[in-house]
Amino acid sequence: MASEKTSCGSIRNELLELFRTALTVSFPSVSAEPVVAACNNAKNGDYQCNNAMALFGKLKGTPSAPKAPRDVATAIVGALPANGLIAETSLAGPGFINIRLSRDSLSTRLSEMLVKGLASWAPTGYIGKKVVIDFSSPNVAKEMHVGHLRSTIIGDTLCRIFEYCGADVLRLNHVGDWGTQFGMLIEHMADARRLRVAAGGEDKDMDEDVADLQELYRAAKKRFDEEEEFKTRAREAVTRLQSGDPESLASWQRICAASRREFEAIYSRLGVTLQERGESFYNPMLKDVVEELKAAGVATIDNGAACVFVEGQSVPLIVQKSDGGFGYASTDMAAIKHRLNEEKADWIIYVTDVGQSQHFELVFAAAKKAGWLVDGSGPKVSHVGFGLVLGEDGKRFRTRSGDLVRLVELLDEAKSRCAATIRERRAEAGEEVNEAEVEDAACAMGYGAVKYADLKNHRTTNYKFSFDEMLNLKGNTAVYLLYAHARIAGIVRKADKDVYALAADTPISLDHPKHLYPSPSLFWPSHATVTATYFSPRLQELELALHLCKLPEALEDAIEELAPNRRVDVAFRNLVPTGFTLNALDLPLRATHYRSIKLRVTDYLYDLSEKFNSFYVDCKVLGSEQEASRLLLCEATAVVMRKCFELLGIRPLYRI
Ligand code: ARG
């Protein structure tokens, strides 16, 4: 997907293009990718370009070599094309180019967004790209555990981000619906049926046989492990099922249907849609795929099994077991081929726990060995791994009785706790309680809180599942953010103006000077807000506007890192040109001040609500002289917050 680097939509991309031109004009003899990042410290500027130092290194020894990196920076600035985006540039340190944006360009960007809608801000590098996302993927008849919940939440958010970017997203549920475990399940069901017939009951499988799938699995597994005779029958049942015996297939389907109902109960609560394409779908392709790998010499026989050996990996990928059977890896080879050839995927993304990283590395390497994938060109494949969910005791998340937590119960608890809080707050405020409304708000809040608590963590780290933390009214939680949004929506409602008509003819002013002694925030300010309000040299309206305009960047970064939640210090890494150390460049330690931070969608959203708070403390909205312009800033904030909620799969609330 070569086009992703050239996507436009964000300010950063516009700056990149301007600096790309400036670099070619000022130093045509060397090729350099522009490096532009947001400034971490508002004192320095809004953005910075960090190319000068590396370029200086490259030019050393050439006839026209500049004397110092600062000269390189001066030349780059001098070659910037005329534009309406940059108001001013300044040099700092050994050759950083600090950029101050024009206020007009920010205010125009916001007005346009309000008039045309947020679609105009979507990153454009993925339009029409086919992105296959394999996520959730629970196993039939086994419990859908918190790991699958993480896969569902992270996968759904990635889908939503790609969908917003105009990609053609295929949401695949690679359900574990095939394999040897079905032999024991079918046989155990057959025994239940025999008992029923003996007692004068019906001679067919019944839904009651699969009413408690976890119990069915537990009982069948126990017998499989303990009874030799049952084990033999179970194995025979697998063979019958695989050879297409109608009765075995019917039992298998009944089990799958029961499982599907359980999964659906979770998906509908979470508002997640998925296309089921389980392992069984690839079953008819396995033989041919493995034959192809063997014939091409990609798979070789080792101890009777067909294995793909991959450089740098201690274990091979076993595509056919020594008894001739196919397994998880065989299916993934067939699936990747199908997704590349039939689905014509540009990017295939797998979302599972990090425990499966090696499996996917092997699958990707085997697909490359087979020539289905080529490094550096054509379709991409990625494994998005995530860490464990831990209980408050820091151990694997389980119920008090030691069982795995049932997801439906977990979601129900989040919801009922929210309902209680909402009722309490309504009672405190002396407001009437409408039960249907409370129920609706509690769903949005409870499920939203579970999702947000998951997404705000770095995906590869383990995190503790804590209702108390995720349902906290203060701090970085969905509950806090939903309240913040409802309040902003309330301000706009109270003004009782047609904001969209206003947006068409009222310029958004960003000139309000800094107020030195803020009144306490009405929005439960965090320590960070107060500090920012006292010490930020930026104007609150401007600060808010700039952050709003950074939404496209937050999304580009989320995609680049394939995580809705990752912070990376890329700009800092880029500061140090290859072959140089910090000392060789004589960078003062202060250079760390220039670190630029990538955004997470969740962090972006939280920072937005903090920036709004600072603005609201400082800038009177209703009844002020600047009411119209400030209302537009309120509405723009609400619109952008809603987009973030939507991308995170959280339903916004307009009043709580
Ligand atoms: N069913 C698997 C599990 O529960 C996840 C499947 C992931 N997708 C894949 N194509 N292997 O661990």
Cα distance from N-terminal residue to C-terminal residue, the chain: 43
- Provide mean pLDDT across the span 476-500: 96
Ligand 1 centroid from CA 318, angstroms: 16
Q: Judge whether residue 296 has pLDDT over 70.
A: yes
Q: Could you tell me whether strands 300-302 and 305-308 are parallel, antiparallel, or unpaired per DSSP bridges?
A: antiparallel
Per mean pLDDT, which range of 298-302, 568-572, 590-594 is the poorest? 590-594
Give the pLDDT band of residue 77 (cuts 50, 70, 90).
very high
Ligand 1 centroid from CA 332, angstroms: 9
Per mean pLDDT, which range of 180-189, 274-283, 562-571, 614-623 is the poorest? 562-571
Query: What are the φ/ψ torsions at residue 323 (nearest 5 degrees)?
Result: -85, 10
Ligand 1 centroid from CA 356, angstroms: 9
Ligand 1 centroid from CA 317, angstroms: 16
* 8 Å CB contact between 631 and 434: no
Q: Judge whether residue 9 has pLDDT over 50.
A: yes
Sign of CA dihedral 627, 10, 568, 133: positive
Q: Judge whether residue 348 has pLDDT over 90.
A: yes
Ligand 1 centroid from CA 278, angstroms: 9
Cβ of 176 below 6 Å from ligand 1: yes
Q: Judge whether residue 261 has pLDDT over 60.
A: yes
Ligand 1 centroid from CA 137, angstroms: 5
Cβ of 151 below 6 Å from ligand 1: no
In sequence order, which residues have a C-beta less than 8 Å from that of residue 325 and are 6 or more positions away? 180
What pLDDT is stored for residue 654 in this prediction?
95
Cα distances (angstroms) measured from residue 445 to each of 105, 157, 213, 474? 36, 17, 30, 14
What pLDDT is stored for residue 395 in this prediction?
84
How many other CB atoms sit within 10 Å of the CB of residue 303? Answer: 7
Nearest CA among 62, 52, 56, 46 for reference residue 19? 52
Give the pLDDT band of residue 576 (cuts 50, 70, 90).
very low
What pLDDT is stored for residue 52 in this prediction?
95
Ligand 1 centroid from CA 301, angstroms: 25
In sequence order, which residues have a C-beta less than 8 Å from that of residue 62 and are 6 or more positions away? 29
Q: Identify which has the larger pLDDT, 471 or 64.
A: 471
What pLDDT is stored for residue 433 in this prediction?
87
What pLDDT is stored for residue 539 in this prediction?
82
Nearest CA among 141, 121, 161, 133 for reference residue 10? 121
Q: Which atom of ligand 1 is nearest to the CA of 350?
A: 8
* 8 Å CB contact between 279 and 177: yes
Pocket test for ligand 1, best of 137, 151, 333 (most atoms within 8 A of CB): 137
Cβ of 139 below 6 Å from ligand 1: yes
In sequence order, which residues have a C-beta less than 8 Å from that of residue 180 and are 6 or more positions away? 235, 238, 325
- Provide mean pLDDT across the span 155-175: 97
CATH number assigned to the domain covering 130-175+274-390: 3.40.50.620
Pocket test for ligand 1, best of 328, 332, 351, 352 (most atoms within 8 A of CB): 352
Pocket test for ligand 1, best of 351, 356, 383, 407 (most atoms within 8 A of CB): 356
Cβ of 150 below 6 Å from ligand 1: no
Q: Whose CA is nearest to atom 9 of ligand 1?
A: 174
* 8 Å CB contact between 579 and 175: no
- Provide mean pLDDT across the span 320-348: 96
Ligand 1 centroid from CA 174, angstroms: 6
Pick the CATH number of 11-101 from 1.10.600.10, 3.40.720.10, 3.40.50.1000, 3.30.1360.70: 3.30.1360.70
Q: Whose CA is nearest to atom 11 of ligand 1?
A: 332
Segment 494-541, tens digit of pLDDT: 999 999 999 999 999 998 876 544 444 444 444 444 444 444 455 889
Ligand 1 centroid from CA 150, angstroms: 13
Segment 362-412, tens digit of pLDDT: 999 999 999 999 988 899 999 999 988 888 888 888 766 656 677 888 899
Which residues are paired to 386 by β-bridges? Answer: 353
Q: Judge whether residue 242 has pLDDT over 70.
A: yes
* CA atoms of 287 and 319, how far apart (whole Å): 10
Ligand 1 centroid from CA 392, angstroms: 27
130-175+274-390 shares the fold of 11-101: no
Q: Whose CA is nearest to atom 5 of ligand 1?
A: 137
Cβ of 137 below 6 Å from ligand 1: yes
- What's the predicted TM-score (pTM) here? 0.89
ipTM: 0.99
Segment 37-63, tens digit of pLDDT: 998 888 889 999 999 999 999 999 888
Q: Judge whether residue 1 has pLDDT over 50.
A: no
What pLDDT is stored for residue 400 in this prediction?
61
How many other CB atoms sit within 10 Å of the CB of residue 251? Answer: 23
Give the pLDDT band of residue 346 (cuts 50, 70, 90).
very high
Q: Whose CA is nearest to atom 7 of ligand 1?
A: 137
Give the pLDDT band of residue 575 (cuts 50, 70, 90).
very low
Cβ of 136 below 6 Å from ligand 1: no
* CA atoms of 381 and 357, how far apart (whole Å): 13
What pLDDT is stored for residue 2 in this prediction?
37
What pLDDT is stored for residue 585 in this prediction?
31
- Provide mean pLDDT across the span 637-648: 98
Q: Which atom of ligand 1 is nearest to the CA of 353?
A: 12
Give the pLDDT band of residue 608 (cuts 50, 70, 90).
very high
Q: Judge whether residue 150 has pLDDT over 50.
A: yes
Q: Whose CA is nearest to atom 3 of ligand 1?
A: 138
CATH number assigned to the domain covering 481-566+594-648: 1.10.730.10
* CA atoms of 40 and 403, how far apart (whole Å): 46
Ligand 1 centroid from CA 107, angstroms: 47
The backbone region for 380, taken as left when phi is positive above 0, alpha when psi lies in -120 to 50, beta otherwise, is: beta
Q: Which atom of ligand 1 is nearest to the CA of 359?
A: 11
Q: Identify which has the larger pLDDT, 568 or 441.
A: 441
Domain map of the chain by residue range?
Answer: 11-101, 130-175+274-390, 180-270, 407-476, 481-566+594-648
What pLDDT is stored for residue 557 in this prediction?
86
What pLDDT is stored for residue 393 in this prediction?
84
Q: Which atom of ligand 1 is nearest to the CA of 352?
A: 7
3-state SS assignment for residue 12: helix
What tokens does 14 get?
């516009």
Write down the H helix ranges in 476-626: 478-495, 499-505, 527-535, 540-549, 551-560, 570-575, 601-618
Ligand 1 centroid from CA 309, angstroms: 22
Ligand 1 centroid from CA 201, angstroms: 38
What pLDDT is stored for residue 211 in this prediction?
84
Cβ of 134 below 6 Å from ligand 1: yes
Segment 110-138, tens digit of pLDDT: 999 999 999 999 998 899 999 999 999 99
Pocket test for ligand 1, best of 144, 174, 317 (most atoms within 8 A of CB): 174
For the chain, the average pLDDT equals: 87
Token pair 């919940």 in the structure block, residue = 149
Q: Which atom of ligand 1 is nearest to the CA of 175?
A: 1
* 8 Å CB contact between 300 and 441: no
* CA atoms of 126 and 134, how far apart (whole Å): 18
What pLDDT is stored for residue 420 in this prediction?
95
